Amino acid sequence: MRILVFGAGAMGSLFGSRLSIRNHVTLVGRREHVRAIREKGLVVRGETKGVFYIDAIENVEEYEGYPDLILIAVKSYDTEDAVREIVRRFGKEIYVVSLQNGLDNLDKMKKHLGEDRIILALTTEACTFSRPGEVLHTGRGKTILGSLTEMDMVEKLGEELNLVGFEAEISKDIIRDMWRKAMINACINPLTALLEVENGRLKNPVLFEIVRRVCRECVEVAVAKGLDIEYDDMLKEVEEVIDATSRNLSSMLQSLMRGRKTEIDSINGYICKVGGEYGIRTEVNDLLVKLIRMKEARR
């Protein structure tokens, strides 16, 4: 397949590198990253090792031809601009895959594309951006794919991901899985970003009590929205992810460390917004949103 990765940060670069083993991949990224890849290839260290010689461009106008699908890996606050640019260049019949955090990306995409053109990809792979031209694959995980209507391309992409070394599976309820992933992020990312610690530090009894409260609020909102999610199961999953990624730095902490905006509004902020619509109090989540915004303002 011809695959265009729009947003070649850490995760976009990781997926682009492995997919390039069997597919023609082009990365769209920041100037410094693109230049480094053109000069020396994309270096991936850690769980994935190698130098991948991949086409890299700075904007979609430089792309020649028409891709089979576009993997969107930008931050959630850039989603709508990215989709608008993609539609302007390739039209509304293009398949897009959201490889992103947050709960509002689907809504943003549906403003410009039909549901049958949108695929959601939820991953627990862990990757950090080391320097232009190099990323570090810090932990293996699972990638779940799904769509509200389209399944042929979902199955094709799932097969490709498995063939190049990822562990991919098809979701039977991608919206529910999207909420579960976002709730895990809501429990882990803000606290680690505020305290500037690795994920494993959240097993501290005092901090894990905060995790419990965040999780309970998230589940109450999800249930009010009609999702079948149990608090005990969700908390267990959060704890398992903390254990599995104990040495990792959350994406939210990485954003703050690099002086960039976080995705707090698309994760905890979105949960607070939906909670308000159903009359559910989300005091702990709301506090985390305010504290992260304060920290962002100090960048």
Q: Write out the catalytic residue numbers.
A: 181
Question: Strands of 95-99's sheet, edge to edge?
Answer: 55-57, 24-28, 2-6, 69-72, 95-99, 118-123, 143-146, 168-170
| C-beta separation of 197 from 254 below 8 A | no
Please state, as a whole number, how many other Cβ atoms lie within 10 Å of the Cβ of residue 11: 25
Beta-carbon contacts of residue 289 (< 8 Å; ≥ 6 apart): 190, 264, 265, 268, 269, 272
**What SS3 state is found at 275?**
helix
Q: Are 48 and 14 in contact (CB under 8 A)?
A: yes
